[in-house]
Amino acid sequence: MRRPRFAISSVVWLTLGAAYFVIPLAATLLFSLQSGKNYSYNLSAYGQVIHDEEFWKTLRLSVVLSLETILISLVLLVPTAYWVHLKLPRVRPYIEFLTILPFVVPPIILVVGLLKFYNGTVHAPLWFLESPYAFLGSAYVVLAFPYVYRSLDAGFRAIDIHTLTEASQSLGAPWRTTLARVIIPNIRAAALAGAFLTLAIVMGEFTIASLALFTTFPTYINLVNSQQVYEAAALSLISFGITWAAMIGLLAFGGGPGRRRAAAGAAD
Amino acid sequence: MGSEGPRRLGHLVTAVSAEVERPGPNGSGRRRPSLAWLGVVPFFAYATAFLLLPSAVVLIGAFQDAEGGFTTKNVSEVIHTPQYRHAFQTSIEISLVTAVVGGLFGLLMAYAAVRAGTPRIFRHGLTTFSGVAANFAGVPLAFAFIATLGTLGIVTKFLDNHFGINIYQHGFSLFTFTGVSIVYLYFQIPLMILVIAPALDGLRTEWREASANLGGSSFQYWRHVGIPVLLPSILGAAILLFGNSFAAYATAYALTGGAVNLVPLIIGQNIGGDVLSNPHLSEALAFGMIVVIGVSMVLYALLHRRASRWMR
For chain B, positions 57-96, list CB contacts with chain A under 8 A.
57-58, 61
**Position B51 in a domain:** no
- In whole angstroms, how large is the CA radius of gyration of chain B? 26
Span B4-16, pLDDT tens digits? 444 444 444 444 4
Mean pLDDT taken over chain A: 87
For chain A, positions 68-107, list CB contacts with chain B under 8 A.
76-77, 79-80, 83-84, 87-88, 91, 95, 98, 100-107
Strand partners, B64: B70
Cβ burial B113-150 (10 Å sphere, 16+ → b, else e): bbbeebeeebbeebbbbbbbbbbbbbbbbbbbbbbbbb
**Position B271 in a domain:** yes
Put simply, whether B248 touches A (Cβ < 8 Å) is: yes
| Chain A residues inside the 8 Å CB shell of B1 | 158
d(CA A245, CA A221): 19
**Position B40 in a domain:** no
Q: Is A31:B147 a contact under the CB 8 Å cutoff?
A: yes
CATH label of the domain that carries residue B228: 1.10.3720.10
Put simply, whether A6 touches B (Cβ < 8 Å) is: yes
Question: What percent of chain A stands above pLDDT 70?
Answer: 91
**Position B24 in a domain:** no
| Chain B residues inside the 8 Å CB shell of A252 | none
Task: Average the pLDDT over B182-198 and give the result.
Answer: 92
Q: B138–A267: do the CB atoms touch at under 8 Å?
A: yes
Nearest CA distance, B89 vs chain A (angstrom):
18
Q: Give residues with Cβ within 8 angstroms of B305, minimum separation 6.
A: none
**Position B11 in a domain:** no
Put simply, whether B39 touches A (Cβ < 8 Å) is: yes
Predicted complex ipTM: 0.88
Put simply, whether B11 touches A (Cβ < 8 Å) is: yes
**Position B152 in a domain:** yes
d(CA B162, CA B34): 76
**Position B19 in a domain:** no
Most trustworthy range by pLDDT among A61-75, A233-247, B246-260: A61-75
d(CA B236, CA A8): 29
d(CA B5, CA B1): 6
Residue B70's SS3 state is strand
**What is the tally of structural domains in chain B?**
1
- In whole angstroms, how large is the CA radius of gyration of chain A? 22
**Position B303 in a domain:** yes
d(CA A47, CA A38): 18
Put simply, whether B156 touches A (Cβ < 8 Å) is: no
The region of weakest confidence among A44-48, A217-221, A257-261, B49-53 is A257-261
d(CA B217, CA A84): 49
The region of weakest confidence among A167-171, B10-14, B172-176 is B10-14
pLDDT of residue B15: 44
Span B110-158, pLDDT tens digits? 999 888 788 888 888 888 888 888 888 889 999 999 999 988 888 988 8
Task: Average the pLDDT over A44-51 and give the result.
Answer: 85
For chain B, positions 173-192, list CB contacts with chain A under 8 A.
185-191
Neighbours of A252 (CB within 10 A): 10
Q: Give residues with Cβ within 8 angstroms of A32, minimum separation 6.
A: A45, A46, A230, A231, A233, A234, A236, A237, B147
Span B233-267, pLDDT tens digits? 898 899 989 999 999 999 999 998 878 899 999 99
Residues A145/A146/A147/A148 CA torsion (nearest 10 deg): 40
Distance of CA A178 to the CA centre of its chain: 28
Terminal C-alpha separation, chain A = 47
Question: What percent of chain B stands above pLDDT 70?
Answer: 85
CA-closest candidate to residue A214, choices A88, A111, A69: A111
| Chain B residues inside the 8 Å CB shell of A109 | 55, 58, 247, 267, 286, 289-290
Q: A13–B54: do the CB atoms touch at under 8 Å?
A: no
Q: A243–B109: do the CB atoms touch at under 8 Å?
A: no
Q: How far is CA B88 from CA B56, B92, B97, B263, in A?
A: 22, 6, 14, 6
Task: Count, in order, helices (H) and strands (E) of chain B.
Answer: 15, 0
Closest chain A residue to B19 measured between Cα atoms?
A: A173
pLDDT over 70 at B3, yes or no: no
Put simply, whether A124 touches B (Cβ < 8 Å) is: no
Range of the domain at B92: 67-310
| Chain B residues inside the 8 Å CB shell of A10 | 111-113, 115, 117-118
Q: B113–A14: do the CB atoms touch at under 8 Å?
A: yes
Q: How far is CA B173 from CA B26, B95, B180, B197, in A?
A: 68, 19, 9, 33
Which domains are assigned to chain A?
Answer: 45-263 (1.10.3720.10)
Neighbours of B275 (CB within 10 A): 9
Span A180-231, pLDDT tens digits? 899 999 999 899 989 989 999 999 999 999 999 999 999 999 998 888 888 8
Report the phi/psi class of residue B108: left, alpha or beta, with left for phi > 0 and alpha for psi in -120 to 50.
alpha
